């Protein structure tokens, strides 16, 4: 079946199921259909990015009446790959979705698991969260050009705080280093286990600056504690008056995207039902509010296009991981 025909078939199935979604949720009563009970796996500890994404989804699905009973289950560890390994063992279960994203692809590239996203059923990409290069507000570095000049002059002495090795913060640092002519292996990247520790390192001038999801440091930016030099979005983020790397002449973009996958072994109808649930959520007023509140960008993608995206993402991140020498 060619790509166009696959897309048409998938989209038609989703549209048909979406049309009957509300009727299905009401009429099935106490039966065990996914419209009555859905588990959302957050492959991270409570309070993390995937946990927040999963719980925002849970609230939207409940408030919009898309699913009657939605539970979030946390399975932390190894960049989400422990959760992935568990999901791979759930072949045929049509009542569970697992949050995933760029961080998990980085962990897969690092060899944290034998499983990959090719071992599960892709459902949809839902939102993009972009990285920001920041410095303390009282830093003498006031622009991206200033930071690049200092970094090129003293790669070892220019330290950048961020999340764990292989995280989007780390990948973005390596990508940026390569684009400005440095060996990514030279990047003095200081990995921290939590966003709070990385933030403390930036604010205390322990590091020159930091790379972080914009949403994670927006409060400190608004409070005047941090200065954002650039963000990794292809265009300016709505409502955020910060230039992009591209806008400033540095050809770098990267998204910490978030989406959902399901176990392998599902029928076309079961896959389309889960896709319809996610589609209704992302089109709802409740989800519009979630995007605005978290400074996330709508990047909805389903079907064969999402499958191709996952393959391309793994290839790209494998290259960056190799360049970083990890």
Nearest to 316 by CA among 261, 254, 260: 254
CB atoms within 10 A of CB 239: 7
User: Measured on CA atoms in the order 186, 188, 194, 195, is the torsion positive or negative?
Assistant: negative
- Pick 38 or 295 by higher pLDDT: 38
In the numeric block, which tokens belong to residue 102?
């760029």
Phi/psi class of residue 77: alpha, beta or left (left: φ > 0; alpha: ψ in -120 to 50)? left
Choose the weakest-confidence range: 18-22, 96-100, 126-130, 155-159: 18-22
Work out the angle at residue 175's Cα, subtended by the Cα atoms of residues 173 and 178, and round it to the nearest 5 degrees.
110
Is the pLDDT confidence value at 98 over 70? yes
Q: Quote the pLDDT of residue 8.
A: 40
Above pLDDT 90, what percent of the chain? 73
Instruction: Please give the CATH topology (third level) of the domain spanning 3-129+256-323.
Output: D-Maltodextrin-Binding Protein; domain 2 (3.40.190)
CATH class of segment(s) 131-231: alpha beta
pTM for this prediction: 0.83
Give the model's confidence band at 199: pLDDT under 50 very low, under 70 low, under 90 confident, else very high: confident
Tell me the pLDDT band of 125, cut-offs 50, 70 and 90. Answer: very high
d(CA 144, CA 127): 26
pLDDT (tens digit per residue) in 1-27? 444 334 444 444 444 343 333 333 333
> Given this model, what pLDDT does residue 113 score?
80
Higher pLDDT, 79 or 193: 79
Note whether 3-129+256-323 and 131-231 share their fold.
yes
Q: pLDDT band for 290, please (50, 70, 90 cuts).
A: very high
Bridge partner residues of 284 (DSSP): none
Q: What is the pLDDT of residue 198?
A: 84
* pLDDT computed for residue 1 by the predictor: 47
What is the rounded average pLDDT of the residues 215-242?
Answer: 92
pLDDT for position 261: 98
What integer best gives the mean pLDDT of the chain? Answer: 88
Residue 315 confidence (pLDDT) above 70: yes
Instruction: Give me the pLDDT at residue 27, please.
Output: 33
pLDDT at 3: 41
Q: Do residues 10 and 304 touch, judged by C-beta distance below 8 A? A: yes
User: Are 58 and 72 in contact, with CB atoms under 8 Å apart?
Assistant: yes
Residue boundaries of the structural domains of the chain: 3-129+256-323, 131-231
pLDDT at 21: 38
Q: Could you report the per-residue pLDDT of 28-45, keeping only the tens digit for each?
A: 333 448 999 999 999 988
pLDDT of residue 163: 86
| pLDDT value at residue 2 | 41
Q: What local confidence, expressed as pLDDT, does residue 194 receive?
A: 66
Contact 262, 123 (CB under 8 A): yes
Distances (CA, A) of 102 to 13, 40, 85, 140, 314: 28, 18, 17, 32, 9
Q: Is 135 helix (H, G, I), strand (E, B) or coil?
A: strand
Rg value, the chain, Cα: 20
The structure tokens 């030099």 sit at 229
How distant is the alpha carbon of residue 179 from its chain centre?
A: 23
Q: What is the per-residue pLDDT across 177-195, written as a single tens digit (0 to 9) for each?
A: 999 999 999 999 999 866 6
- Nearest CA-CA partner of 187 in 158, 221, 212: 158
The token duo for 209 is 């600056």
**DSSP character for 193?**
S
Say yes or no to pLDDT of 216 above 90. Answer: no
25-35 exposure pattern, b = at least 16 Cβ within 10 A, e = fewer: beeeeeeebbb
């Amino acid at each position: 079946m060619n790509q166009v025909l696959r897309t048409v078939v998938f989209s038609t199935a989703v549209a048909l199921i979406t049309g009957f979604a509300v009727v299905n949720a009401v009429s099935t009563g106490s039966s065990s259909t996914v419209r009555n009970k859905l588990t959302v796996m957050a492959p991270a500890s409570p309070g993390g990015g995937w946990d927040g994404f999963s719980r925002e989804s849970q609230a939207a699905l409940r408030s919009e009446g898309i699913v009657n009973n939605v539970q979030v289950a946390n399975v932390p560890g190894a960049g989400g790959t422990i959760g992935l390994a568990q999901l791979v063992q759930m072949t045929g279960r049509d009542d569970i979705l697992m949050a995933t994203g760029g961080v998990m692809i980085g962990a897969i590239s690092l060899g944290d698991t034998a499983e990959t996203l090719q071992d599960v059923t892709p459902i949809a990409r839902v939102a993009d969260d972009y990285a920001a290069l920041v410095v303390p507000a009282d830093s003498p570095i006031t622009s991206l050009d200033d930071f690049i000049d200092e970094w090129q002059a003293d790669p070892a002495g220019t330290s950048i705080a961020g999340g764990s090795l292989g995280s989007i913060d780390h990948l973005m640092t390596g990508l940026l280093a390569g684009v400005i002519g440095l060996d990514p292996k030279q990047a003095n990247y200081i990995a921290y286990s939590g966003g709070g520790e990385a933030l403390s390192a930036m604010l205390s001038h322990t590091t020159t600056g930091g790379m972080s999801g914009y949403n994670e440091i927006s409060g400190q930016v608004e409070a005047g504690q941090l200065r954002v030099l650039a963000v990794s979005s292809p265009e300016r983020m709505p409502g955020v008056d910060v230039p992009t790397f591209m806008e400033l002449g540095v050809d770098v973009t990267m998204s910490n995207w978030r989406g959902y996958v399901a176990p392998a072994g599902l029928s076309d109808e079961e896959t389309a039902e889960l896709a319809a649930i996610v589609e209704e959520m992302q089109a709802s007023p409740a989800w519009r509010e979630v995007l605005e509140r978290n400074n996330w960008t709508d990047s909805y993608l389903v079907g064969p296009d999402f499958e191709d995206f996952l393959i391309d993402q793994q290839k790209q991140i494998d290259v960056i991981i190799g360049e970083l020498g990890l």
